[in-house]
Copies of this chain bind each other. A is one copy, B any other.
């Protein structure tokens, strides 16, 4: 059990984390941090924290556990602010959707003061804010931890136990491996959804009727494009190389399909759709 938990960013992920800690009785006191007044008010109202403030230094002072869920682009600055004030030896983890840059930048900031372990709970949706938070958000979810040779073994083990208490499954990946794999399973689907919307917009400018013909497949395929533009700008920049490589693969697949269509190769087309359908049905 933690004495004073500080949650930086009490949106969907941070708010759900607060609710889950409370439900499991793992925190004596939780202080939530958010920039917006409305987020602070709502995170208090749903019971995700006991106190809420926009002052991250005040909130982190004396904390023995810090959960960092601010926008990815603010992670480094947040760590610089809190490192001098957390309790000595505090456990610090984050929920950033990219890991290589965050771990490279944040881990050294806590060196000798607190114990940082990079993490990424794979939970969430296109919904935002504490209103969407749920105590069971992490149940059954995969929670990636990205230890390095510098990671404190006891901190890693403590965090892993906590994650499993919340019903999630902890797996370990090197920060770089995390980013390469997530580029394929999360970032590419996101930017592809956004690109589908842009293609649609281009058609709409030529023929507005296209809006009346939106089908279920388009809605499914573009759903995540409704997510936070700031978050996706930050993720794209932080994982630029791996996303660029995944985009290259995707462009290759689409070009291959174009060629197959031009050749009217029925057998190759059928095989291509069959392989995709079989693989999709496994997940």
Contacts and interface: CB of A to CB of B under 8 A. Distances in A.
A227 to B, nearest CB: 7
Interface string A243-282: 1101111110111011001101010011011111101110
B201 A275 contact: yes
Nearest to A183: B203
B212 A142 contact: yes
A272 B194 contact: yes
Interface stretch (A5-13, A21-29, A82-90, A230-238): A230-238
A191 B256 CA distance: 11
Contact of A213 (B185, B203, B220, B221): B185
A221 to B, nearest CB: 4
A113 interface: no
A154 interface: no
Contacts of A262: 240, 244
A3 to B, nearest CB: 34
A189 interface: yes
A46 interface: no
A131 interface: no
A266 B270 CA distance: 41
Nearest to A274: B229
Contact of A269 (B207, B236, B254): B236
B244 A254 contact: no
Contacts of A274: 229
A273 B232 contact: yes
Given A186-B218, A199-B188, A213-B185, A225 B269 contact: no
Interface of A: 122, 124-125, 142, 144, 171, 173, 177, 180-182, 184-186, 188-203, 207, 209-230, 232-233, 236-237, 240, 243-244, 246-251, 253-255, 257-258, 261-262, 264, 266, 269-270, 272-277, 279-281, 283
22 contacts: A171-B212, A185-B210, A185-B215, A188-B196, A188-B199, A189-B215, A193-B276, A194-B273, A197-B275, A199-B249, A203-B249, A217-B223, A220-B220, A220-B223, A222-B280, A227-B277, A228-B277, A243-B261, A244-B262, A247-B254, A248-B258, A251-B251
